[in-house]
Amino acid sequence: MKQLLLFMMIIMLTSCNSQIDLETLKFDTSISSIVNDSTKFAKDKNIDYGLVAYSTEDIDKFRYGNINISSFSMKDNAKNSLITYTSTLTFYVDNFKNNKLSGLIIKNENENESEGIKLLKHFKTKLGKPLLENHNDSDDFIQSAYLWDNKKNNQVVYITQHTEYFSEEKNRFISTEITILKSGMKLKPREDNNPENIKKILEENPNAFDVLEILKSRFY
């Protein structure tokens, strides 16, 4: 019996250790060993911040600190609904050759709300008071946003939580999205933008394309 318990403990430890801790990943280092599995990760060019990225729905092998992140996908069963809620993980990289990490997004869509709540609590505990925050929390509805300019770790952290209703609003869960970006990042305007318009925008506001400033504007 003791041998069986020891064997089970070893299996559990091995399983935990095989997970990739997203908190330990470093900006500007290659994550090719993670994203080169094309059966798991899809390349994505049409995303925010003008960067390229890899995205996956197979996120069970990842965690953030000591918090597990579970794969989840659910189709709204309301009549004629086309909505599907899916947890995803996105890695921003400099390009698809070097695969140097620029940021990541954890999208936690899960009826098990504890994961998103634990993640938010983790960042609040670690980073302290946010630079900016908005929150409207009640028993039936949550609409919150938090922004940290974490210079110590050279990162900008933006977290949103809101209530999603499904099954004709009979059920609900908390949707959590965590964006972690390298400090100093700038939005890259689309190539088809008029250069004169870009010049005018920068003359009016030299920081117009700074990602931190763009995120700040979401709170006003």
Q: How far apart are CA 155 and CA 123, in angstroms?
A: 12
| Residues shown for the chain | 220
Q: State whether residue 84 is helix, strand or coil.
A: strand
With bands split at pLDDT 50, 70 and 90, how would you rate the model's confidence at 4?
Answer: very low
Structure pTM? 0.85
Mean per-residue pLDDT for 4-28?
Answer: 65
Quote the mean pLDDT of the chain. 84
1: buried, middle or exposed (CB in 10 Å: 19+, 13-18, 0-12)?
A: exposed
Residue 181: the pLDDT is 95
Q: Is the pLDDT of residue 1 over 70?
A: no
Please give the Cα distance from 60 to 78 (Å, whole number): 28
Q: Distance of alpha carbon 145 from its chain centroid, rounded?
A: 13
